[in-house]
Amino acid sequence: MSTPNVQKHALPVRIAHWLMALSILVMIGSGWRIYNASPIFDFLTFPVWATLGGDVEASLALHGDPGVATAIAWHLAAMWLLLLSFLLFIFWGVLSGHFWRDFLPVSPRSFWHDFVAAARFRLDHRLGEYNAVQKAFYWGVLTAILVMVVSGLAIWKPVQTYPLEVLFGGFQGARVIHFLAMAGIVGFLLVHLALVALVPSTLIAMIVGRFGHDPAPDRPVVSQDSGETR
Amino acid sequence: MTTERRGLLQRGFSLGALTMLTGCDVSDNDAVQSFLARFSEWNDRVQAALFSGQRLAPTFSETQAVKNFRYNAWYGPDKAPNLDPADYRLLLSGKIADKKPWTVDELHALPQQTQITRHICVEGWSMIGKWTGTPLRTFLDRVGADTTARYVGFECADGYYEGIDMQTALHPQTLMAFKLADEILPRQHGFPFKLRIPTKLGFKNPKFITTMYVTNKQPRGYWTDRGYNWFSGS
């Protein structure tokens, strides 16, 4: 995976990535509809068009419910997909060495150096290699998803997991932390998508498994680490 | 405009198009609804497996209990049923040996206990209240209910209906609540009694109960019929 100028993604990474992407989008959209039913902050409700849960007016007319029931059903279905794909990503990352090889090392010093360089648009994008800011971002979003899952469990099962909510400062605290982790993930997604738009070849690599010019032209084109040889 | 900037703009628009995709909501599609309903039944089974008949919901101190408990229903408090204690009878049905109807005085004469527990609404808000009443388990024993049956169902004076699993019905904190904050249950909170279940979401706590029945067939629920999860344990 450290071939210069070549971006490669193993099949389990790609499967986990796209399933996490789908489940997170469903959970954000449905979560915003659920949030609107009882907003944490007086100044913030989400525009209905950005939420998931069906037609509000039709649902109100039919059920007296603004689609919150459907939003919760989405949320509690997608949570299983998120949990499974997140575990797949973590186990693969640890067992294959992907995390140690590509997400480490990262130090506050290297982060600051690359952050300043990026802010001045002086940081080159090297395919197949992550800079310190990217590495820190990936650790950050993985942590945010973990916090999301644990605080979500505390909200879903506040009695059966009771001491858990104390970790978040009570039930309301767990809701606030769940919200903040969501905000962190949304922030990550905006940067992530903006960078994909700037370097579209990374999107191709995440779909087909590799992108870039192989230094040895006589080698077969099919990637060998993805298990896709046929 | 430079080609570089034009390229950036175009990519910006395609990003915008991507976010617009979320506006294409398939939620109201029948196939999607039945998929979600099946997942909800799977979540019922997971929750029943997670539920412990012994584990108690957290209890709180007297000072944390709210005096003016929030009113919540799909109709205003002035529309709440006004049940006359002289006429009221709790009817019993299903797998219960002694189906004699109960008057308010007879209910109030049952042994009572007090709990200060937290009511969590499916919408996300929560509130701590002080409830006094008879454990449902005590009442079910008293009337000779078949507690090997799977469910207990409830019909209410406002047209509401609910049902719970027997494990939750027998949980030590599941109360027939006759009092809220040391006062006889106010009309809008469900006089003469509401079911207080701190191990369930608020909507699984029916008010103005007029009929109780024991059954092996899973009872429907007012909000469950409107798409909410049936078990809704907490």
Is residue B218 in some structural domain?
yes
Question: Which pLDDT value is given to residue B234?
Answer: 92
Handedness of CA B127, B129, B131, B137 (dihedral sign): positive
Nearest to B228 among A38, A72, A160 (CB): A72
Nearest C-alpha of chain A: how many angstroms from B86?
33
Mutate to test the interface with A, among B8, B9, B25, B204 (most CBs of A within 10 A): B25
pLDDT at position A1 over 50: no
Number of domain units in chain B: 1
Q: Which two tokens stand for residue B27?
A: 């939620």
Size of interface A-B (CB pairs under 8 A): 110
**Contact at CB, A160 and B55, closer than 8 angstroms:** yes
pTM for this one? Answer: 0.87
Q: Are A9 and A226 in contact (CB under 8 A)?
A: yes
pLDDT above 60 for A221 = no
Residue B1 identity? M
The pLDDT tens digits of the residues spanning A13-42 come to 999 999 999 999 999 999 999 999 999 999
Contact A160 B50 (CB under 8 A): yes
- Nearest-angstrom CA–CA distance, A7 and A5: 7
A26 with A230: CB under 8 angstroms?
Answer: no
* Whether B126 and A172 lie within 8 Å, measured CB to CB: yes
Q: Give the closest of B14, B74, B123 to A68, CB-based.
A: B123
In terms of residue numbers, what domain contains B144? 29-226
The tokens 């509690």 sit on which residue? A76
Q: How far apart are CA B154 and CA B131, in angstroms?
A: 19
| Residues B199, B202, B207: CA angle, nearest 5 degrees | 110
pLDDT at residue B7, as a whole number: 55
What's the CATH code of the domain at B164? 3.90.420.10
Torsion sign over Cα B203, B207, B210, B214? positive
Q: Look at chain A and count its residues.
A: 230
Residue A89: closest CA among A153, A10, A28, A24: A10
Residue of B22, B29, B51, B223 best to disrupt the A interface, most CBs of A under 10 A: B22
Q: Is residue B82 part of a domain?
A: yes
More confident: B65 or A128: B65
SS3 content of chain A, % helix, strand, coil (to 5): 65, 5, 35
| All domains in chain A, ordered by first residue | 9-96 (no CATH), 103-212 (1.20.950.20)
Number of other residues whose CB lies within 10 A of the CB of residue A130: 17
Q: Beta-carbon neighbour count of residue A192 at 10 Å?
A: 17
Q: What is the ipTM of this complex?
A: 0.86
Summarize the confidence of residues A214-224 as an average pLDDT: 51
Residue of B121, B229, B234 with shortest CB distance to A72: B229
Residue B4 CB contacts under 8 Å (≥ 6 apart), including other chains: none
**Percentage with pLDDT > 70 across chain B:** 90
pLDDT, one tens digit per residue, over A90-117 is: 999 999 988 888 888 888 888 888 888 8
